[in-house]
Amino acid sequence: MKHQPVHSVVSFYVNRYIAWEDQLTLQCNQLQRSRILRWVFAWASRLGDGAGWYGLMAVLMLLYGAQLAVPMAWLLFSAALGMVIYKLIKHHTARVRPLHRNHHLMVSILPLDRYSFPSGHTLHACNFAIQLAVMVPALGVALAVAALLIALSRLVLGLHYLSDVLAGAVIGVILAWFSLQLQSTM
């Protein structure tokens, strides 16, 4: 029996995954047929643009004052670092968004840029939700739900593939962990 070269085997499985991911994206996008779900996911995505997170940070600073000043500074530092990482990866991978590859997707929100990998919304949602939950544990469940809705919105709206969202989540969790570790050593 003749063995296939490793690169052709890898290519076969990568292509199968990509086809599966395309189908998953199309199926998730079908949730927009419901006007209520389209509104929920569009709203979640807009909150994930940043205004929602920064608005919440401002409210928490008003409520808790100086005791959150240092953790908020670390959160802002990690958000800036996340933006740099996100832009570098997007620039180098240049993965085209699903809505630009599949014209069967229903588009209800236009993307902020052309490329999809990784999901910046998910990256920041995970980073912010984790760190804010550590600062104000009573908000933990609500923050987890918000982050999950933002991540799902990226799939439902046809703006990202599952791998984009998962990569964004992993980077966001690592940034939050990194920031919290640095805070604990100071």
> 148: closest CA among 52, 62, 37, 41?
41
6-185 classified as CATH 1.20.144: yes
| Domain extent listing, the chain | 6-185
In degrees to the nearest 10, what's the CA dihedral of 86, 172, 145, 153?
20
**Catalytic annotation, pick one of 91, 100, 121, 124:** 121
Whether 3 is a known active-site residue: answer: no
Grade residue 51 by pLDDT with cuts at 50, 70 and 90: confident
- 117 in Cβ contact with 93 (< 8 Å): yes
Per-residue pLDDT, 2: 61
Verify whether residue 100 is a known catalytic residue.
Answer: no
- Check if the beta carbon of residue 20 is closer than 8 Å to that of residue 94: no
162-176 per-position pLDDT tens digit: 999 999 999 999 999
Does residue 5 surpass a pLDDT of 80?
Answer: no
pTM of the complete model: 0.89
Report the range out of 43-47, 107-111, 135-139 with the highest average pLDDT: 135-139
